[in-house]
Amino acid sequence: MQERILLIIDQDFYLAGETINFFAVTLDAGLQIPIAFSSILYVELYDQDNKVIASKKVLFKDGEAINSIELPRDITTGLYYIRAYTNYMKNFGPSVFFTKRLKIVNPFVPYIATLADTLSRHEHQTVLQHPPYFGSSERLKISAQLSTTEANRGDSIILDIESHTADSVQYIVAMHLGDERTSPSFPERNVYDQNGSPISRLTFLPEFTHDIVTGSIKATNSNVSVADKILYLAFVDSISWITRCKTDSLGRFTATMPIEYQREDLVISMVDTTNEFSILLENEFYPEFEELEKEDYFPEPSLKSIIEARMINLQVNDAYGNMKNTAVSAERPLLRFYGFPDNEYKINTYTDLPNLEEFVREIVLEAFVRGRRSQVNILVKTEGNSTLNATPLVVFDGVPLFQANHLVPGISTEKLKSIQVVASRFFFGSEVYEGILDIVSNDNSFSLVEKDKNSVRINFCPVNTAPASRSFVNFRIPQYTSDLYFDTLRSAGEKATVKIALPQNAGSYTLSIFGYTRNGEMDYFVLPDLLYVK
């Protein structure tokens, strides 16, 4: 399997603060056909010092993904690179990643060149060390025509597309302000690792349905890797989902994280709280980069009018930013890692109960409080816990707590949202718990309790499953945009039609179309005439 990524972007010139729209498809580079193999796309934007500026993980659907990356406002003028890959492609090193150079201008801050070289001195050099090639010998021969090449602001235009094939075609249509153009390219075939040796062992597993994370455990005192240690991985969230894994003989662990439950706050906890251990989660993104020759970038004088027009669009959007429509999030699953609770108690439906201890004593029928004040244990009444001396699994804001004293009984009920109770014995791998107590706070921040001794809280990059909406919905605000249109269009035959709404800013727009079939036929077409919006 020679899995590779083809990334289609709308252009290769941007201003700081704009959006890079991209479409990705997984390919078999040997057969030159689209495939559906990996489920997660890794995208990174980085500078010439290999410093990552922005990164994102995106969910593939049938081998395709459409999404975007926001450029930071403080990014400096210069040459940058965008690369895309899958977890499986990490086995071959960065030479097989899709990599493309971008020109970015920040017109709001002065630019000071730091290199003696200029872009003109390197304009004929290949950016990548390996020669790219585009597509197969079979071409779709795409042609397209707009209903008009001149239109008024706020109008709509019709785009007619035609290709010479009887197969279903997937088109990616892009329209942006200015005449800067880009073209896609394929990476070369490669079944070797980054050192030139055939791949004999997969270090990075393909991600078919889950997000794979890896790490290691070491004893804090001796720095020696420890085997057979059980870990729970959970996101800080109101809907708890705990992933269980175990270290191997080398002290390494591999966990498969469900995509629909991911959040940005990940807590990894060890069941063993007697000794002290260090938990290290490996970088989700590939840490190595190709060696590229540094270059200065001096924007061409011909870009002056385009830069000024796009600056105005950015400033108008800034002025009305608080009225913009936000992207709709993907629907949240309701099922928790233990299934559904036997009972759920909404805190705000009860009054005159000051803290967690009193609430459990008076309201929660399936639980029992033993002790008073600082020596309080909350137990769950189950058939196997008739003597009330076995410990339940306590979960707070989605995170398991193995040290019972961290659950402070005096937490104010004004800060709590709900308590879910599982009143039966729960088997989780080799662990057995007499019930589950799942507590959720109002802000879902895991800030009301202390995390366990052998646990670590990590900033995680969740897989993005829902692209931002591209349509003009809120007509109460001015629609000023530089990336007018970027979306997919599937055609069952030779012809396809799409209606494009125009913004309220004037300017000339470039339209480009990339299309492909499942048999590997591909083509890239740029409309020769610009669209003038008056």
**pLDDT value, residue 200:** 58
Amino acid at 231: L
Distance, in Å, from the CA atom of 262 to the CA atom of 500, rounded to the nearest integer, reads: 34
Fold of 3-192+288-330+465-533: Immunoglobulin-like (2.60.40)
Task: Quote the tokens at residue 492.
Answer: 């069952």
Task: Quote the tokens at residue 489.
Answer: 């269009």
- Boundaries of every domain in the chain: 3-192+288-330+465-533, 343-444
**pLDDT value, residue 111:** 64
- How would you list the strands of the sheet with 242-246, edge to edge? 242-246, 230-235, 265-270, 455-459
Distance, in Å, from the CA atom of 113 to the CA atom of 94, rounded to the nearest integer, reads: 28
Give the end-to-end CA distance of the chain in Å, rounded to a whole number: 50
Q: Judge if 3-192+288-330+465-533 and 343-444 fold alike in CATH terms.
A: no
Distance, in Å, from the CA atom of 333 to the CA atom of 196, rounded to the nearest integer, reads: 45
Per-residue tens of pLDDT for the chain, all 534 residues: 789 999 999 888 999 999 999 999 999 887 888 999 999 999 999 999 999 999 999 999 999 999 999 999 999 999 999 999 999 999 999 999 999 999 999 998 876 655 444 433 334 443 444 434 444 445 788 999 999 999 999 899 999 999 988 889 999 999 999 887 776 665 555 545 555 555 557 889 999 999 999 999 999 999 999 999 999 999 999 999 999 999 999 999 999 999 999 999 999 999 998 899 999 999 999 999 998 888 989 898 989 999 999 999 999 888 876 555 555 556 778 899 999 999 999 999 987 889 999 999 999 999 988 876 667 788 998 887 666 677 899 999 999 999 877 888 889 999 999 999 999 999 999 999 999 999 999 999 999 999 999 999 999 999 998 776 555 555 567 788 899 899 999 988 788 999 999 999 999 999 999 999 988 888 889 998 899 999
**pLDDT value, residue 499:** 94
- 441: Cβ–Cβ under 8 A, 6 or more apart, which residues? 396, 397, 415, 416, 417, 447, 448
**pLDDT value, residue 263:** 94
Residue that is written with structure tokens 């959007």 in the block: 317
β strands within 129-210, DSSP E: 143-146, 150-151, 156-162, 169-177
Quote the distance between the C-alpha of residue 83 and its chain's center: 14
Strand-pair category, 485-491 with 230-235: unpaired
**pLDDT value, residue 195:** 54
Distance, in Å, from the CA atom of 91 to the CA atom of 255, rounded to the nearest integer, reads: 18
Task: Decide if domain 343-444 falls under CATH 3.40.50.300.
Answer: no
Amino acid at 230: I
Distance, in Å, from the CA atom of 242 to the CA atom of 231, rounded to the nearest integer, reads: 10
**pLDDT value, residue 160:** 95
Distance, in Å, from the CA atom of 411 to the CA atom of 397, rounded to the nearest integer, reads: 14
